[in-house]
Amino acid sequence: MKAFFIERYGKQNGRIGDLPDPTVGAHDVLIQVHASSVNPLDLKIRTGEFKMILPYQMPLVLGNDVAGVVVSTGAAVKRFKPGDEVYARPPESRIGTFAERIAVDENALALKPSNLDMKEAACMPLVSLTAWQALVEIAQVKKGQKVLIHAGSGGVGTVAIQLAKHLGAFVATTTSTANVEWVKALGADVVVDYKQQDFANELRDYDVVLNSLGGDVLKKSLKVLKPGGLLISLSGPPTAQFAQEQGLSWVLGLIMRLLSSGIRRQARKNGVRYRFLFMRADGIQLQKITALIEAEVIKPVIDRSFSFDQIAEALRYVEQGRAKGKIAVTLGQAS
C-alpha cells in the first residue's frame, strides 16, 4: 500500500512509498482510508519528541486521525462490519493514518457522523476527544462556570469553545487580531487579542484553563484561576501521574515529576490544581461526540485541504502555526 512514513526522527523527514498492508488482529478493523488530518502531534512525533514514552519502530507511518470504510474485521470484532463508514483516532501505539489502509482496534472506532463527509469527519477525532477529556472527563465543567481556552482558533480550540458553550460555561479565549470576530462566532463570550492585550491582566476568577501553548502562558494562566481552579495543559510538562497512567518506568516517572515540579509547586502556592493531558483513543467517547456533531452542537472547522501527495506540504503548513481549525488530507489520489 502507499503510505507517508519516516525512517528516522528529524524535522523534515518523511516520504511516500510502498509498505506492506497492516496486520489485522482478532479485535482489529481494517479500514480503507478516505481522509485524514494533520495535527501538531504529527510534527512532534516526527522529530522524536515522544520517543521516550512512545518507542515506535521504523519505518513509522504518521497520522493520528482517520475516516474511511471498513474492509474487513478480526474474528472477535462485534460492533463493525465491512462497508461501515467509520472514524477514529487510533491508539497512540498504533498510529499510521497517512496510508491507504490501517488496522484499528474496534474500541477506538465509532460510526462516522451521518451529516459529515469523509474529509470533515477525519478532522474531528483527535481534537474533539482532547476537548472532551479535558472539559467533560477531567474538569467536569458545569453550567455557569468560567473556562479559558487558549489558542481559540486552533484545532483543539475551535472544538473546545463549542463544547464548553454546550456545557453551559462562560467561555474566554485568546487569539490574534485577525481572528477575534471569527472565534466570537464560534461562541466565545470574551476574546483576548494576545497581540494587543495580556490575558493575565484581563481575566480573573476562572474555574478552568485549557492550555496548549508554551511555558510563559502556562505560568501566567495560574493567575486567572480562582482558588480551587484547574489548569489543564496539553503541551506539558508531563507529571508522574501521567507516567503511572501510561505504565512508564519509575525512572521516567521521576523525570516527569521533576519536569513538572515547578508548575505544580506554583499551582499549590496559588491554591489551584495542575493536570497534564495526553489524550487517548476512546470509541465510546467518540460515539457521544458523534451525537453532538449530528445535533450540530459541534461543527468541524477546516482551514484547507491537501491531497495525499501533498502531505509534506500540509505538515509544513501546520508547522507555521497559523491554521484556523484543522488541515484535512484526502486520499483520493492514492491508488
Query: Average per-residue pLDDT in the chain?
Result: 94
User: What's the whole-number mean pLDDT along residues 3-16?
Assistant: 94
Q: Which residues, other chains included, contact 274 with Cβ-Cβ below 8 Å and sequence gap of 6+?
A: 230, 231, 233, 239, 260, 263, 264, 267
CATH number of 126-276: 3.40.50.720
> Has residue 334 got a pLDDT over 50?
no
CA–chain centroid gap for 102, Å, is 19
Q: Does residue 197 have a pLDDT over 80?
A: yes
Is residue 335 scored above 70 in pLDDT? Answer: no
> How high is the pLDDT of residue 321?
83
∠ CA 99-105-106, rounded to 5°: 115
Give 60's strand partners. 6
* Mean pLDDT, range 277-301, rounded to an integer: 97
State how far the Cα of 205 lies from the Cα of 310, in Å rounded to an integer. 45
Measured between alpha carbons, how far is residue 163 from residues 140, 147, 183, 202, 288 in Å? 12, 11, 13, 23, 12
CATH 3.65.10.10, domain 2-123+301-330, yes or no: no
Whether residue 104 contacts residue 85, with contact meaning beta carbons closer than 8 Å, is answered with no
Average pLDDT over residues 267-292: 96
Domain ranges (residues) in the chain: 2-123+301-330, 126-276
User: Mean pLDDT lowest for which of 77-91, 122-136, 311-325?
Assistant: 311-325
- pLDDT surpasses 80 at 190: yes
3-state secondary structure of 74: coil
Over residues 8-28, mean pLDDT? 95
Average pLDDT over residues 7-16: 92
**Quick one: which of 329, 325, 328, 327 has its CA closest to 157?**
325
Query: Is the predicted pLDDT of residue 333 greater than 80, yes or no?
Result: no
Q: What are the DSSP E strand ranges found in 122-219?
A: 146-149, 170-175, 190-193, 206-211
Share of the chain above pLDDT 70, in %: 99
d(CA 329, CA 157): 20
* Predicted local confidence at residue 92, as pLDDT: 93
